Amino acid sequence: MDKLIQRQLRRAKLDSDQLPTDLAAWQAFLESVSRSYAQQQQDRYLLERSLEISSREMQTLYDDLRRASDSQVAAERDKLEAIINGFRDGFCSLDLDARLVSMNPAAERLLGDSKNWLGEAILTRFSFSAIGNLKAAPSADQVLERARAGRSYRDEQASLRAADDSILPVSLLIYPIVQAGKVTGCALILRDVTRLLEAESARLRLAKAVEASADAIYVTDLNGVIQYVNPAFTRITGLTVEQATGAPTKVLSAGKTPRQRYEDLWSTILSGEVWSGRLLNRRRGPDGERLSYWAETTISPLPGGDGSLLGFVAVQRDISREVAEEDRRAREVALTEVRAQVAECLQGAGRLEQRLGNALDALKNLSALQLNGEVLILASGNQGQAEVKLRRGEPPLLSLEVFSARQLEEASATYSPALNGILLPIVQTGTLVGGAWLGVGREPNLESLEIGLLSLLAGMIGVAMADDHARIAAERARLAALEAVEAKSRFLANMSHEIRTPMNGVLGMLEMLSQTGLDRDQQEYVETALSSADALLRVINDILDFSKIEAGKLDLERVPFDVRSLAEDVATLFASRNPCSRVELACYIPVDLNTRVIGDPTRLRQILTNLMGNAVKFTEQGEVVLRVRQGSADAPESPAVADPCVLRFEISDTGIGMTEAQLGRLFQPFVQADGSTTRRFGGTGLGLAISKQLVELMGGEIGADSVLGQGSTFWINLPFDRQQAVDPQLDIAEGLAGVSVLAVDDHRTNLNILSHYLRSWGLSCETTSDGFDALRRLRQAVDAGHPFGVAILDMQMPQLDGLSLARLIKADPNLADTQLLMVSSGGPSASELSAAGVQFSLSKPIRQSHLQDTLAQLMHAGGGREQRGVIPGARQETKAKLHRRFRGRLLLVEDNATNQRVALSMLARLGLSAEVAKDGEQALDAAERNPYDLILMDCQMPVMDGFEASRELRRREQTQESPSPAWPRPVIVALTANAMQGDRERCIAAGMDDYIAKPLKLEQLSRCLERWLEEAPAAAAVTSALDTDPGTDPLITLAVDPDAMNSLKELLEEGYGHFLDLFTQKTQELTTAVRQAVDARDAPALAAAAHALKGSAGNLGANELLMLAQRLEQKGQNADFRDIDQLVDETWDCHRHVLDDVARLRALEPTDAGSGAA
């Protein structure tokens, strides 16, 4: 190493915080030191040479000038000036007073704007240092005096205050100018040494960092002989500086590093590249012993100033702890992998012995065990076989049964001397049951991790044995459970048939009985029996559904349907069941929501009906709202859904609510929110459990939120497939664009729904919950010149109801042109609405399509003659059609006499008669004799069931065994009381065309026959006459139910006309009695007359008259005569409309309707 560097390293006082942290930093520092040394040496050389040359040349030039002619003097002066200006160092010419005479461009750059200094003493700008024998730094005068005396002055640590007052470190030389042996001035040569000082500072920092580094740093020559080591080197290797300096680097090698690695190392560094890697080195211990350690080593080439390779610098860090930790983690990973393999083997399928063998084979991947492949499982009674195999050199693997501790000890003593091995005790639940002997080639190098693995292995073998026994027991239990489920399914199928068969008779006959001429008490008895029978049927259906889901035999449909229509149907269903309820029902579906999906509409309807039914049942007053909106993105999606569309359904109520405890057990089967014996609400407790299971089968989720005393919200997230066709949006009529609407309702939910619909369709909408405020707004709008075109009024509002508000609006000349639309859950009659100036009315909950159609009709009606009524299907489906009557020849195949009677009675109601067969064989015989248009075929019958009979009938058709090929192919409709999964598929597979589930209902039978039979001419004539009557306004709803009148006509036959005459006479007497009771303020008489009038109205399906009579009856029962006169007037008007409609329908009857039977 250069002596100057060594001297500077000893003199340096460096800060250890500036140590290099990586190889690149070390290399950069060392290269910088090398360059600075080379540059410094070169600069010193050039400076000294320039001073010598300058002195000689200038002296020579001065002598020549003195001897030359004037022209030669000028030429030489130019030459001298060119030489001086070409100096890289600054040159200044001074007189004997140190005033500046001239300077070259380099001096100008150093001094700054120094031309202004010409003639000034420039040495005062310099600060000098103490050099040579000087004890203190000389002043400018002392330096000048030295020059005057003919002596030069050199200072390498001077500083210059430049023109901008900045301080610049310089090295300078001042020497006298001698002419003719006399000093005539002096020359100043200066150089900027800023970079040189910075290089020196960097060198000092590097030297300090090297000395303070915690890593071992050493420098070698090209042959690897160590030339320098830092203190950390001696601490890590245990070698002193004297021992290391001059020694080859192989003194560090432990002899365990592969030779190839050293060859790669030398090849890399000799090519001028950096080598990094791990070396296993040795160190001297305190007592001189040799110890090994791992060193992370980086070796970098050390280039000279000319680019040649001078040697190498190496940095080493002791990483023994890291390597040991890596080895530990690697062993741990290997153990984990082996443990996983063993667990996978033991938990896999196959015989226990095979799984044990695979698990022990997996241990061979663990090098620390050094297994030789010999594995022995010892068990009671098998030691002899094991010994024979072991002597043959075969690795025995015997089954494990029972193994005692004594036998295990004996086996260990027997085999241990013969073979190196590991004996693992196998324990089950604390009891020793066997042992596993693992043969090894030599003494294994086991640590705590391997020992723990072997202990775990022994435990896992014991668990595997126990699991194997448990698996066998579980498989036996599973087979027994499957047999039980199959037996349960067969039992349910049979019970379904046995229960539904008598239920068919009960419900069918009750339905027929309810449509005969009954008095009021009898009618109530029948209605109660029907309601109870329906409730019983719902309970049976719930139990069957739950059992089908539990047995995994419930399949879901995938058909296109419209969620919007389905949800509105469900909400409307509950509104129609409770017309006088104090619960407000609403359905909200955003206009822009795509509701055309593919899924199972039947099960969705069942779920929503269950939830809506619960909400209505547990809500005495307030509201129940069904909402449908786009589901959240994180909602679960069914894997069977290709193009998912997640919809969220919410049913909110303001009912009794639930506690947290009740919510926790809400969806459990046979559990009710209130399970006490004093509960107010009934039910099987299956509805929510079935809903939850159906939702999960459809790939969705269901939940509930509730606050006791405030209400509940049940929600469902369901994924559906989108239909390919885009959901068609409702087209707003041109006449509605920009129409201003005022909505009046005391329920904020209804107002929000109306506001959303109207604004989505482009209408302007304002809302209010108070009738008097509505009047004020209507008048303000007229005064402002922007009147409302339409007012939507709620009927049931406090203080000022919808009907009273309508009268006030029409009574005000400024508001009379406002078109009115009444929305109601059940209320005024058409005559009351007409008298109040209301053109149209809608039933709650409002359907989007009905509202839009009604608004379009309303605005159209506003420009022409006054029209009033209800849009067909808006309030309730118009009942202008009589029961359809069909024609055709029918065969009824039914073994139960009750069911025969029910079916024949219903067919008679539909204008049909049928021949009867008691079993499948009789049906085949009848089909041989007569051609039938339709066969109603029971599925379960003695002798031959309906499935076999249908298959045989179709077979005969295909083989042309029918008596006459010209006979029509009969339609076969299955009648079955079996509601289990697969019934419809079995029916279709047997050749049947349609399917009706028992109990049989008239409406259900009618819809089925409508698909397959032609309508009888007589019934068609009646319907056509009614539909095309020129005096019938299509917007007017009849005040009576044509279906009820038709039923009475069929039942009473010749007595039908007399009944209508009696109805007319009786109701006239009752309305008169009502008037008289009101005038006399006789509450009991009013209640009795109104009750009788209500019963008469119900017999004829006059629902509006029935509701008015009910209101009168309540007032009589409560002795409430407030506003009674108006109610009586409305009742008289409605009664008059009932009598008019009765007369009109009688006039439309054909003179000879006939029976319609084929």
Per-residue pLDDT reduced to its tens digit, 453-488:
666 676 677 677 777 777 777 778 878 877 776 676
Average pLDDT over residues 181-190: 88
H-assigned helices in 1080-1102: 1083-1099
CA within 13 Å, CB half, 51? 21
Distance of CA 1067 to the CA centre of its chain: 63
| Contact predicate 844/575, CB 8 Å | yes
Average pLDDT over residues 10-27: 48
pLDDT, tens digit (0-9, with 9 covering 90-100), for 698-708: 899 999 998 89
Least confident of 137-141, 547-551, 585-589: 547-551
User: In this predicted structure, what is the pLDDT of residue 675?
Assistant: 46
Instruction: Give φ, ψ of 1059 to 5 degrees.
Output: -65, -40
Residue 874 has pLDDT above 70, yes or no: no
Supply the pLDDT for residue 452.
Answer: 63
- As a whole number, mean pLDDT of residues 978-985 equals 62
Please report the pLDDT score of residue 876 as a whole number: 37
The mean pLDDT value for 116-138 works out to 79
Write down the pLDDT at residue 58: 63
pLDDT, mean of residues 432-454 = 57
723-761 pLDDT, tens per residue? 875 544 445 545 577 789 999 998 888 999 999 999 888
Model confidence over 653-709: pLDDT tens digits? 998 888 887 877 777 655 554 544 334 444 555 778 888 888 988 899 999 998 898
**pLDDT score recorded for residue 649:** 95
Residue 180 CA, chain-centre distance (Å), reads 104
At residue 141, the pLDDT reads 86
pLDDT in tens, 250-306: 888 877 788 888 888 898 888 889 999 888 888 887 777 788 888 889 999 988 777
Q: b vs e for 867-899, b when ≥16 Cβ sit within 10 Å of the residue's Cβ?
A: bbbbbbebbeebbbebbbbbbbbbbbbbbbeeb
Question: What is the arithmetic mean of pLDDT over 646-651?
Answer: 94
Cβ-contact 793, 806 below 8 angstroms = yes
pLDDT tier, 52 (very low <50, low <70, confident <90, very high otherwise): low
Q: Which pLDDT band holds residue 93 (cuts at 50, 70, 90)?
A: confident
Query: May I ask the CATH class of domain 736-862?
Result: alpha beta
User: Is pLDDT above 80 for 615?
Assistant: yes
How would residue 1053 be classed by pLDDT, with cut points 50, 70 and 90? low
Instruction: Give residue-wise pLDDT tens across range 836-861.
Output: 888 788 888 888 888 888 888 777 65
The pLDDT of residue 400 is above 50: no
* Residue-averaged pLDDT of the chain: 75
- Report which of 1024, 1016, 1014, 985 is spatially closest to residue 1148, judged by C-alpha positions: 1024
Please name which of 174, 176, 121, 123 lies closest in space to residue 148, comparing C-alpha atoms.
176
Record: fold of 334-468: Beta-Lactamase (3.30.450)
CATH 3.30.450.40 domain locations along the chain: 334-468
- Overall fold of domain 213-318: Beta-Lactamase (3.30.450)
The pLDDT value recorded for residue 974 is 92
Average pLDDT estimate for 590-617: 88
Residues 567-594 as b/e (b if ≥16 CB within 10 A, e otherwise) read bbbbbbebbeeebebebbbbbbbbeeeb
CATH 3.30.450.20 domain locations along the chain: 23-198, 213-318
Predicted local confidence at residue 588, as pLDDT: 92
Average pLDDT over residues 622-630: 92
Q: Per CATH, the architecture of 1038-1148 is what?
A: Up-down Bundle (1.20)
- Tens digits of residue pLDDT in 760-782: 888 899 999 999 999 999 999 99
Fold that domain 886-1014 belongs to in CATH: Rossmann fold (3.40.50)
Look at residue 1068 and tell me whether its pLDDT is greater than 90: no
Over residues 860-871, the pLDDT tens digits come to 655 433 333 343
Cis geometry, peptide bond prior to residue 999 (ω within 30 degrees of 0) = yes
Across 392-401, 618-627, 877-886, least confident range:
392-401
Domain 23-198 listed as CATH 3.30.450.20: yes
Question: Where residue 879 falls among pLDDT bands split at 50, 70, 90?
Answer: very low
Domain span(s) for CATH 3.40.50.2300 in the chain:
736-862, 886-1014
Residue range(s) occupied by CATH 1.20.120 in the chain: 1038-1148
Distance, in Å, from the CA atom of 462 to the CA atom of 476, rounded to the nearest integer, reads 22
Is the separation of the CB atoms in 1110 and 580 below 8 Å? yes
- The CATH code that applies to domain 555-642+653-722 is 3.30.565.10
Number of other CB atoms surrounding residue 420 within 10 Å: 16
**pLDDT tier for residue 549 given thresholds of 50, 70 and 90:** low
Residues making up the chain, counted from first to last: 1158
Residue 200 has a pLDDT of 79
Find, among 712, 740, 609, 569, the residue nearest to 653 by Cα. Answer: 712
* Cα–Cα distance measured from residue 140 to residue 160, given in angstroms and rounded to the nearest whole number: 12
**CATH 3.30.565.10 in the chain, residues?**
555-642+653-722
